[in-house]
Amino acid sequence: MTSERCASCARVVAVRGRQRICTNCQSIANSACCVACGELRRVAGRDLEGQPWCQRCRNRRLNKRADEDRRQLIVEVITAADPTLDEDLVRQVLTDTVSSRQSLRRLAVHLSEHPDVFAVGPTSVLPILDRFTRALIAAGAESIATIHPVCDDCGRRQARKVRSGDDGLCSMCCARASKQTCSSCGVSRRLA
């Protein structure tokens, strides 16, 4: 882009396109009244009837649709894991438990990658999944239970796993693995 005189406003600025207008004049030329919010904004797209949308309203509509798809995926996974649960009950528990779009996305991604998580586990590793599982149990789920992760060293299910490097160890195995010989007394113990 070179600095030239804008064909619309006559300012000497960087111009673009065949019309040789500046970006400000291009935004004004591409503006219309948004069908959703009613404000005069730059057109980012059009709805099914051909009416203009601003970027904010377009993103809101797309985000709302994506959230509804995520909710539907979660409801399908839950009703497949426990057929006794009603879809409306699952949606109510989901609404009560998941408060942010980020949590909803994390839960949906985890359940899409691990649809058998309620049968195989663990359900207590991801915090939002743990809260959602506990809320489902409180709401009367019969086939769903909290499944804790298995320690990589001892093989027992622990309510809490401590990460030591890449190994998923329980607190006892982590304490056992971190023992070293003290340089002062020569006793093997956990060092401070």
pLDDT computed for residue 73 by the predictor: 95
Q: Which of 137, 57, 69 is nearest to 97 (CA)?
A: 137
| pLDDT score of 91 more than 90 | yes
pLDDT computed for residue 102 by the predictor: 94
**Residues constituting the chain:** 192
The residue ranking higher by pLDDT, 71 or 16, is: 71
pLDDT computed for residue 181 by the predictor: 78
Distance CA 172, CA 152 (A): 12
pTM of whole model > 0.85?
no
| pLDDT score of 17 more than 80 | no
CB 82 within 8 A of CB 143: yes
Distance CA 94, CA 139 (A): 11
pLDDT in tens, 100-120: 999 999 999 999 999 888 888
Mean pLDDT of 2-11: 78
Q: What is the rounded average pLDDT for all residues in the chain?
A: 82
pLDDT computed for residue 9 by the predictor: 81
pLDDT computed for residue 11 by the predictor: 81
pLDDT in tens, 21-56: 787 787 787 888 888 888 888 888 888 888 898 889
Mean pLDDT of 74-83: 91
Q: Is 21 exposed, middle or buried (0-12, 13-18, 19+ CB in 10 A)?
A: buried
